[in-house]
């Protein structure tokens, strides 16, 4: 079974600074997807960024980028130029490429605070 | 376009009662997923429905059940409620293709007293 571990229950960052959230996972699969989701106080899960395991290039979405190390099974999220609106719970998630399935395995989350 | 909608927003039940939670997927999405988010435990996969059939379930007891209707909306039923069932229950929907994302609703907060 796949597992996802987020070792930082809480993190804080100064506004406009950069922060990195860590995630490691365990799987015997060679093909899979990895995600970072943001959950603000509104509770709705919002997809921040996704990475396909077969792609060596790290995914980037505006101020959000990942450092995907497949051999080390590591998938960290870097937030640049942090903004107050980035404050939220962040969840790392894993998904197999089974056709039609969006069944996700989540980590326990990291609570990010942004200091003005 | 309307997103995934869940009802009710909050639900308070007594231990031993039954709870019914509802989810309406995005139009055109045939798959519905249910997750439990208990305090401090992250999200745990509960159930996956597609085209009216249960495709997979997580490691939860049989008192957690559900169904998907012909219009692809879904119900999650929790029987014989226990205090530890108190959690946020999130529903997500997706079309049945590989290279897409799922969209989440805002959840139902179930409190068992």
Residues A29-61 have pLDDT tens digits of: 888 999 999 999 888 899 999 999 988 889 999
- When pLDDT is averaged across residues A86-92 and rounded to a whole number, the result is 97
pLDDT at A69 over 70: yes
pLDDT at B77 over 80: yes
CB distance from B105 to chain A under 8 Å? yes
Token code pair at residue A38 = 């943001």
Rounded Cα distance, A109 and A36, in Å: 10
pLDDT at B97 over 70: no
Give the gap in angstroms from C-alpha B44 to the nearest C-alpha of chain A.
Answer: 7
Give the gap in angstroms from C-alpha B43 to the nearest C-alpha of chain A.
Answer: 6
How many angstroms separate the Cα of B107 from the Cα of each of A28, A66, B7, B78? 32, 28, 8, 15
Token code pair at residue B47 = 């159930």
Interface of A with B in 63-92 (CB under 8 A): 91
- When pLDDT is averaged across residues B29-43 and rounded to a whole number, the result is 90
- When pLDDT is averaged across residues B27-37 and rounded to a whole number, the result is 93
């Amino acid at each position: 079974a796949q597992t996802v571990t987020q070792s930082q229950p809480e993190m804080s960052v100064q506004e406009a600074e950069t922060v990195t959230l860590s995630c490691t996972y365990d799987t015997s699969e060679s093909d899979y997807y990895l995600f970072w989701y943001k959950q603000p106080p509104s509770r709705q899960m919002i997809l921040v960024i996704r990475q396909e395991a077969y792609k060596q290039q790290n995914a980037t979405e505006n101020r959000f980028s990942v450092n995907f190390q497949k051999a080390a099974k590591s998938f960290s999220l870097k937030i640049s130029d942090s903004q107050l609106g980035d404050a939220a719970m962040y969840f790392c998630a894993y998904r197999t490429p089974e056709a039609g399935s969006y069944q996700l395995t989540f980590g326990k989350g990291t609570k990010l605070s942004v200091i003005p | 376009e309307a997103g995934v909608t869940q009802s009710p927003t909050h639900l308070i039940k007594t231990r031993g009662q039954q709870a019914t939670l509802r989810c309406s997927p995005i139009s055109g999405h045939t798959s519905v997923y249910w997750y439990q988010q208990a305090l401090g435990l992250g999200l745990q996969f509960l159930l996956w429905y597609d085209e009216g059939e249960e495709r997979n379930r997580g490691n939860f007891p049989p008192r957690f059940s559900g169904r998907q209707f012909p219009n692809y909306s879904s119900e999650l039923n929790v029987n014989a409620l226990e205090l530890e069932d108190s959690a946020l229950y999130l529903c997500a929907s997706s079309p049945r293709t590989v290279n897409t994302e799922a969209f989440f609703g805002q959840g139902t907060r179930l409190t068992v007293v």
